[in-house]
C-alpha cells in the first residue's frame, strides 16, 4: 500500500515558473540588493525565484517524518491574525515570545507582509509561507542581526540547513560584495555554515508551542550555537 506521504507528494499539481523567468526575477532582485543592501525584502524575492524547484523536495522530507507531518496537517500561521503578539510582549525577558516581539518592534518588521499564494498546491504554498513567516525567528534563535552582515551569515546558516539555492546565491554575493570589508567576516561565515549543520532542522519546528520558553534553553535543545559577533 502506498504511504500517505508518498501519495500526497506524487499528487502535487505544482509546476514552477519557467527557469528563465525565475532567473530573471532573481537576477533583478540580486542587483537591487547589491545596490542597496538595506532592501532586505529582496531576499524573499530571490528565495521564491530560486527555490521553486526545491520546495516539493522539502515537502516530501517533511511529510516523511510523523512529527513534522502534523505541522502540514494543522498549518499554523505566525502573524497578527493568528498570534496574540500583545500577550507575547508580556512574557518575561529572554523567552522566545518576548524576544521575538522585541526583535520585530526594534527593527520595524511584521510577518503580516507574507501571504499564502495560490501556486496550484496548498501544501507547497504553506511550506513557502511557513519558511517566510519564521525567518525572523531564525534570527532570534541564532542571534544574527537583521543587517547586511547578519543576513548574509544567516543565509549561509540557512544553506547548511536547507540546501536552498537562494541562500547560497545571497551568501556568495554578500561575501563578494561586502564580506571582505568586514573584519573577521570569513571566520564568522565558516562558523555560520558549521552552525547550520550542527543545529537540528528548523523548517518544521513548532515555534508557536514554545513562546514561553527561554531562548537559551531552545538553543541548547536544538544544538544551535550563538552567533559570534566578532
- 3 found inside a domain: no
Does pLDDT of 228 surpass 90?
A: no
- 226 found inside a domain: no
- 2 found inside a domain: no
How far is it, in rounded angstroms, from Cα 221 to Cα 216?
A: 9
Q: Which domain holds residue 57?
A: 15-221
Please write the tens of the pLDDT for every residue from 7-27. 344 345 556 666 667 767 767
- 80 found inside a domain: yes
- 8 found inside a domain: no
- 157 found inside a domain: yes
- 7 found inside a domain: no
Residue pair 103/135 in contact (Cβ under 8 Å)? The answer is no
Spatial CA neighbour of 190 closest among 175, 176, 203: 175
Please write the tens of the pLDDT for every residue from 84-105. 999 999 999 999 999 999 999 9
Average pLDDT over residues 223-228: 90
Question: Within 13 Å of residue 67, how many CA atoms lie on the same side as its CB?
Answer: 6
The confidence score (pLDDT) of residue 3 equals 34
Length of the chain counted residue by residue: 230
> Is the model more confident about 121 or about 18?
121
The confidence score (pLDDT) of residue 182 equals 84
Residue pair 123/8 in contact (Cβ under 8 Å)? The answer is yes
- 214 found inside a domain: yes
Domain count, the chain: 1
Amino acid at each position: 500500500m502506498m504511504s500517505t506521504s508518498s501519495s500526497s507528494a506524487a499528487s502535487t499539481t505544482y509546476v514552477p515558473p519557467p527557469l528563465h523567468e525565475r532567473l530573471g526575477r532573481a537576477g533583478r532582485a540580486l542587483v537591487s540588493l547589491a545596490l542597496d543592501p538595506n532592501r532586505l525584502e529582496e531576499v524573499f524575492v530571490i528565495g521564491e525565484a530560486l527555490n521553486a524547484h526545491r520546495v516539493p523536495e522539502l515537502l516530501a522530507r517533511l511529510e516523511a517524518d510523523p512529527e513534522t507531518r502534523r505541522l502540514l496537517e494543522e498549518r499554523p500561521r505566525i502573524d497578527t491574525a493568528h498570534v496574540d503578539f500583545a500577550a507575547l510582549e508580556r512574557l518575561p525577558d529572554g523567552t522566545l515570545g518576548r524576544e521575538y516581539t522585541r526583535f520585530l518592534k526594534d527593527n520595524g518588521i511584521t510577518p503580516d507582509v507574507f501571504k499564502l499564494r495560490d501556486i496550484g498546491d496548498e501544501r507547497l504554498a504553506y511550506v513557502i509561507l511557513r519558511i517566510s513567516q519564521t525567518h525572523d525567528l531564525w534570527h532570534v534563535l541564532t542571534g544574527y542581526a537583521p543587517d547586511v552582515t547578519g543576513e548574509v551569515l544567516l543565509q549561509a546558516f540557512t544553506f547548511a540547513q536547507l540546501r536552498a539555492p537562494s541562500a547560497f546565491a545571497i551568501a556568495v554575493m554578500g561575501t563578494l560584495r561586502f564580506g571582505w570589508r568586514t573584519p573577521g567576516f570569513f571566520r564568522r561565515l565558516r562558523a555560520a555554515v558549521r552552525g547550520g549543520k550542527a543545529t537540528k532542522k528548523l523548517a518544521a519546528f513548532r515555534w508557536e508551542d514554545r513562546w514561553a520558553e527561554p531562548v537559551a534553553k531552545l538553543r541548547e535543545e536544538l544544538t544551535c550555537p550563538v552567533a559570534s559577533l566578532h
